[in-house]
Amino acid sequence: MESQCALCAVSPSATAAASNLPSFLPEMILEKTDAVEVFAAGEKGRGLRTTKEMLAGEVVFSEAGFAAVVFDREQPDQEDWYSEMDSAGSYDPYLDDHRGDTDYGETEECSNISLQSDRGYDCEEEAPMEVEEYPHRDLPSHSDAKSSKSKEPAPPRELRPALTTAFPFLDYLTRYHLSCSLSMQVCHSCFRRQANLHRCAQCMFACYCDRTCQGAAWEEHKQECAAIKRLGKAPNENTRLVARILWHTQKHTGKVSDNQLTTLDLLEDHISDIAPEDLKELKVAVHNFLEYWPSNSKQYGVEYISHIFGVINCNAFTLSDQRGLQAVGVGIFPNLCLVNHDCWPNCTVILNHGNQTALDTAFHSQRRIELRALGMILEGEELTVSYVDFLNLSTERKQLLKKQYYFDCECEHCSHGIKDDLMMGTQEIGGKKPSADLVKEVANFSLQALSKIEQAHTERNFHEVVQICRECLEKQELLLADTHLYVLRVLRMISEVLSFQQQFQEAAEYARRMVDGYAKLYPPNNALLGMATMRAGVTNWHAGLIEVGHGMICKAYAILLITHGPHHPITKDLE
């Protein structure tokens, strides 16, 4: 990441490990090379700016991932409710549950998959042979793998924002973790989440939609498959991502393309800024990586391995599933790392999962990220994205950015505390503002209530969640504005729980209040606002308020058409 601290300067660890650096890095795909250029952005280091005018919704550039892996466990996100709802058949956040333009069951590849094979495929072969269905309810090796991985340090709590807004509102979202490993619910090739995946019968870890997805991922998975089988377990996502990065650099030699705007060895790792306790975790991570890394692969020094771990910590982007609701993986996109942060950005990033379903491979497309303009961008204007959710006070956003990305945000909204007054807004009582003591009392009550709500949610005591939310909203009524962060957090939780319980009439009212508050805080073309408006519209639709629901869905469609584009599964569903 570039913002405020020259993140793409050559790092000390990379310089010290120069003897271990690969001579070349693989070519990255940057489709619109004439649209952007690297420039010196002052204290920010380097940045990207446009070389021509961009319109709202236009793709500034797209980039294939340098390397990406599926998370090995659930991440804090908002998909959990909808996973439950889908499985219960009670509620669908979309009008349909499509998987984009993918039509499974009609292709020869899908029909030819062997579900009874125990043979798997040989890691030395050049092409995969068979995959095996993985029954989610029967996980003979899952508990062992989970316990064996418990000694490894957890990945960073916060990575770059999820592509297609996979887990907004991390600061207050309650967590509910599914018992099944996420790596068994997501295709390791296209990163789509679905049931009845087929796993690699050799390493028993990687899972795929079908033979086509497996074949597309074979080059990346071949060495990984052998390493997992040799170790007897799959390491955590950061270790697997480092390994894929190094295997990638070994395979792709030759002159770097002119489209390559930066390289991994030039990205800052910020190891010199890491706290002592985090340095201990880094040492454990490097040790675990060396246990995983095959002896017959090119060997790298500890400093360079540490550098790659540091680069991931500062520059990795989370990847979402096909519906944009859950973070399912993490990847490195070097050119995207040059895009600096702004709390009120002019661009957003989404994941295009590509299409591997056509019988003619000439029509296949790669998984890639897309940087999309949120409004008109003038020629020469710097491109920015937001690394954190805007729905935090400016002081809190600055703390998050400093902790994770090691820079002090000096954007206009942080410097002037823009919209902080709305986020802590109060209502007038009899034409007068409430006393500071009364506001403080209700704010403290709200914080305690939110903690209890999270605990009840974790315990799946949904009745208690609703009861506490109602008590909290009653306490906040006529005192805190609907743009107050604590009010919005309670409104969001109670609307989702009531929807889950199919109490749509009450849920619809809370959802409308929540979206009205969001609309006063978020930028007009914000993906999180669009997703929230979509869910609120569907809730109202289920409540029988067809006209209101239709109007909200139309508003959501207008936003997501810009943030996600007309061909994304979400916008196709709404269309």
DSSP secondary structure of 281-298: HHHHHHHHHHHHS-TTSP
Among residues 532, 529, 491, 534, the alpha carbon closest in space to that of 510 is found at 491
Tell me the pLDDT tens digit for each residue of 8-25: 433 434 333 333 333 333
More confident residue, 221 or 108: 221
Mean pLDDT lowest among 63-67, 339-343, 388-392: 63-67
Q: Could you give the 3-state DSSP secondary structure of residue 450?
A: helix
Summarize the confidence of residues 176-205 as an average pLDDT. 79
Q: Which of 40-49, 231-240, 384-393, 556-565 has the lowest mean pLDDT?
A: 40-49
pLDDT confidence band for 180 (50 / 70 / 90)? very low
Three-class SS of residue 24? coil
Q: Does 130 or 550 have the greater pLDDT score?
A: 550
pLDDT, residue 253, reads: 54
Residue 118 is predicted with a pLDDT of 30
For residue 196, the tally of other CB atoms under 10 A from its CB is 12
**What pLDDT, on a 0 to 100 scale, did the predictor assign at position 1?**
54
* Full DSSP string of 37-95: EEEE-GGG-EEEEESS-B-TT-EEEEEE-SEEEE-SS--S-SHHHHHHHHHHTS--SSS
pLDDT, average across residues 297-313? 93
Sheet hosting strand 317-320, strand order edge to edge: 67-70, 327-332, 317-320
| pLDDT of 355 | 66
Q: Which residue has the higher pLDDT, 569 or 242?
A: 242
| Inter-residue contact 215 to 107 (CB < 8 Å) | no
What's residue 46's pLDDT?
A: 86
Do 27 and 260 meet the contact criterion of CB atoms below 8 Å apart? yes
Across 220-248, average pLDDT = 93
Among 28-42, 139-153, 191-205, 526-540, the range scoring the smallest mean pLDDT is 139-153
Has residue 259 got a pLDDT over 80?
A: no
Query: Mean pLDDT in the chain?
Result: 76
Alpha-carbon gap, residue 247 to 267, rounded angstroms: 18
H runs (alpha helix) in 130-263: 142-149, 211-231, 237-251
Q: Residue 68's beta-bridge partner residues?
A: 331
Res 41 pLDDT > 70: yes
The mean per-residue pLDDT over the stretch 139-164 comes to 35
Indicate the SS3 state at residue 388.
coil
Q: Average of pLDDT values for 139-160?
A: 34
More confident residue, 519 or 106: 519
Per-residue tokens: 178:
């599914």
Sign of the Cα torsion 383, 386, 392, 394 reads: negative
Q: Model-level pTM?
A: 0.75
Residue 344 near residue 412 (C-beta atoms within 8 A):
yes
* Residues 405-420, mean pLDDT to the nearest whole number: 95
